[in-house]
Amino acid sequence: QSALDVAYRYLPAESGVGGDWFDVIPLPGARVALVVGDVVGHGLHAAATMGRLRTAVHNFSTLDLAPDEILSHLDDLIARIDQDEGPDGGSEGITGATCLYAIYDPVTRRCAVARAGHPPPALVGPDGSVEFLDLPAGPPLGLGGLPFETAEVEL
């Protein structure tokens, strides 16, 4: 992406396969979606669920929706997965998932962000200072029907 420089560092708390992911997704108009998510747990089930959510985020991103609407669609999806694969379906349901979804517009220098149970993002300034953004905390994904809120930040 030419709109921004992306740096990351991932340090898992435990070894093994987990359900953490992040993505940078190009959007129309030089905008970029930034997403970070985490499925509770480790092992094959968490990794498989993460793969499903990551694919869903990419698909929902093509709809060009606001971050809170993307999270609402993910929340609905998790509820359907839990209904289909929960205890009655003979498989593990999703025990919890968090997500932060942001859309950055390099033309306006605005970033629209919503979060579902995920910690707030850190904004690193040109001078190296770090600020954690004060954003509305939405519920974790899968609780169903609870609202998410998009906040806008100028960068």
For residue 56, being part of any structural domain is answered with yes
Q: What CATH number is associated with residue 89? A: 3.60.40.10
Q: Which of 46, 45, 42, 41 is nearest to 16 (CA)?
A: 42
Q: What pTM does this model have? A: 0.86
- Assigned domain for 3 exists: no
In a domain, residue 35? The reply is: no
- Please state, as a whole number, how many other Cβ atoms lie within 10 Å of the Cβ of residue 116: 27
Q: Please give the C-alpha separations between residue 38 and each of 11, 48, 64, 71, 140, in angstroms, as whole numbers.
A: 13, 12, 22, 13, 10
Is 65 within a domain? yes
- Residue 7 included in any domain: no
73 vs 65: CA distance, rounded Å: 10
Residue-wise pLDDT tens digits, 42-87: 777 778 888 889 999 999 999 999 999 999 999 988 888 767 665 5
For residue range 95-135, list pLDDT tens digits in order.
678 999 999 999 999 999 999 999 999 988 889 999 999 99
